[in-house]
Structure 1
Amino acid sequence: MRVLVLGAGVVGVTSAWFLAEAGHEVTVVDRQPGAALETSFANGGQISVCHAEPWANPRAPFKALEWLGKEDAPLLFRLRYDPALFAWSLRFLANCPPGATRRNIRDIIALALYSRQRLQALRQTLPLDYDQRCQGILHIFTQAAEFEAACHAAALMREFGVDREPVDAARCVAIEPALAAVQGRLAGGDYTPSDESGDAHRFTQRLAEAAAARGVQFRYNCPVEKIASAGGRVAGVVAGGDLLLADAYVVALGSYSPALLKPAGVKACVYPGKGYSATIALSPDSVAPSVSITDDERKIVMSRLGNRLRVAGTAEFNGHNLDLTPVRCEALLRRALELFPQLRPDGDPLYWCGLRPVTPSNVPLIGRTRLPNLWLNTGHGTLGWTLSCGSAAALADLISGRRPEPDFPFLGTTKQ
């Protein structure tokens, strides 16, 4: 089967790889000159099954109100007239009750565990080098109330198979000695030894190179303009001024997916959540973490990438705006220096922001649409890299007429 994948971020490239592995003839189109140059470019760098608790949870509405109007808030809603954000927010609130949160955690974890397994198997197949570290992820807390709430979340995740273990402050420092200077401020943490970290941009580019060597065609500098439909099916895609034809079409355009899908009569409740990052080059005398850290209270993650430290996180809901807000950028560096006061940056940080495609439930949209030859692989939110290999492998199964392994609510199926 000829399959056209729209988007060359980590989700699009992994989709192309697993589709080609399943025997399909695959072409990828993207408006950028290479792979992973937008949302996958400088993210937090975590393969974080432990981060499966969705933004929509019972505490989220109160936190959003508490942070309203604070420019450096971990979660910031820009107040403006935006019907799409209003509709998204109503569905977000509907996913905040405990029952919905539990269901969404279960679904995300089922896919995340499968995805991490597929990534690890992929590394056995391909000589991928992307500054990967298999030292786990450590969540830290400086407030006792936040730590107590996290212990409840960790207990729920353990029910679904995540090895997220509560640890005290001393154990946090034993896991990551660079935290020794702030041990007295730590209320505790939890540790998931099976999680990983690495450079998602480098991973995606290496995988794109391997896919091209396998026969996948990449058409860069080729913006996707329109899905042409006729007779209840996709008749082709206009991209780069050409009409591209295939047997099946996969939309993996992240937060830009809804605008492309709407004229074809397909709804996708995905909204851009702008995330920031700072990439800090480290001097040789830096005391920096080697274990990937999640600062849950500030919604920030820190991952060691060779001689760099990637500090990333926060969420800003402001449409497709890609302006860097200095206050939010500086908050990342300030928090990193608070937790690691002996960090020695080698020059100024490189600041970046990207638009994470967020569904109200944080559960991505994967599977067939109302148009039988049009498929989605989008809406992964903060877990794009974490879920990429699993969602791509599952999508390849669906397109090939096979039942995917994970217990997940795939679109266009009766599987629950």
Structure 2
Amino acid sequence: MPVEFLSDEQAVGFASFQGPPTRVQLEKYFFLDDADREVIDSKRRDHNRLGFAVQLGVVRFLRRFLPDPRQVPAEVVDYLAQQLGIANPSCIKLYGQRDGTARTHAGEIEQAGGWTDFAEVEPELARWIAARAFTTGEGPKALFDAAVAELRTRPVLMPGVHRLARLVAREREKATNRLWDTLHDLLNDEQRRVLAELVDVPAGARISTLERLRRPVVKASGPQMDKALERVGEIAALGGGAGGCVGDPAPADGRAVALRHGRQGHVDRSARCRAQARHVAGHRGTPDHPVGDALDLLDLLIATRLLARAEQESSKEKLRTLPRVERASATLAEAVRVLIEATDDQIDTATGEVLAPGLASVDEVWAAIEAVVPRQQLTAALEAITKLTPPADSDADEAWRAMLVGRFAMVRPFLPRLCEVIQFGATTEGRPRRWNAT
């Protein structure tokens, strides 16, 4: 049974010390209360008392007895020796030299603490793992961690890492097979026939129809959008897009796992796996996937080839007209400056007296303006500003929308086809409806 889902670091670090315990961990798991001291004091010699205390703390912390209790961090030994008043913590080296002492102490601790051997709870844990795997679809690592957490809620001694890993792998495989069987049994004969054809490689083709339909179209272009819609229509024609199966006993999360296997996994050529993969990949898994791909691709086309390009062209057009606008604006500004100076009241700087404007008639004002800017040049500047700038009451995005309308032809052909291959379920009342492939 494969257990390769655990890394070497995880396997080595399972139920073992990963460096010295923290101060909080020492106080939580290795503090000796009066009951502990009473049992420990019944042991003769310091090394036996200290060794017993070490085993007592270790089983609380790791939920298992170490093969050699002496191989614990020095911080643990020092903390326990200090509580027991043992001046020389190094005496722990003598613990267990007499064959059977450490094993006898472990039996006493197990019995007094009410610890249960893993073999007694293994069948119950196996059922717990199988149920969780079937209902959640979690991977082996997540199931392994969940099993460890579940064991730590009970007074159960931890098994070896490979024993627990094999249990998780075995029960997950059984749950997966149960899921395949549940999904496969929902098919009728016609559906099985249609789906069976998906895993066959057509004459002259390199891959099966299933593999071809599983490959999404990702490039944002008109021809690729055509292919995406053809893919949706082809899958819908298989009869697999009618929605969910009524009374489907497979859990939603479990179906999600099956869909991942069907869309991404490789198809086994054995009869059993073929039938299972056909149902999941062709009947349940494939329809929603290509519809989402087609809509995502259309969204990408609109964003990159329609909206972004229209914005880009609008910006370029603004940059092209900017120099002409700047020149015309400078010409008008000179004329307006002369007009303001000629028609404003004058102030005598010596006396501060306010005098009437220096120019009394319109002809005089125009003469002053034309001395700076010829009237013909002023008229041309006004015409340029009127042509190149939008009216004061216009929308700032009007030019962008004009570009957008011009580029809309790129996506217009796809909209009718989209409604042909996807049943959106729109209603005149505006009520939301879940779409599916027709």
Q: Could you tell me the TM-score, scaled by structure 1's length? A: 0.17
For the pair shown, the structure with the greater C-alpha radius of gyration is 2
Q: Which has the higher strand share?
A: 1
Q: Could you tell me the TM-score, scaled by structure 2's length? A: 0.16
Q: Which has the higher helix share?
A: 2
Which is bigger in relative contact order (C-alpha 8 A, separation at least 6)?
Answer: 1
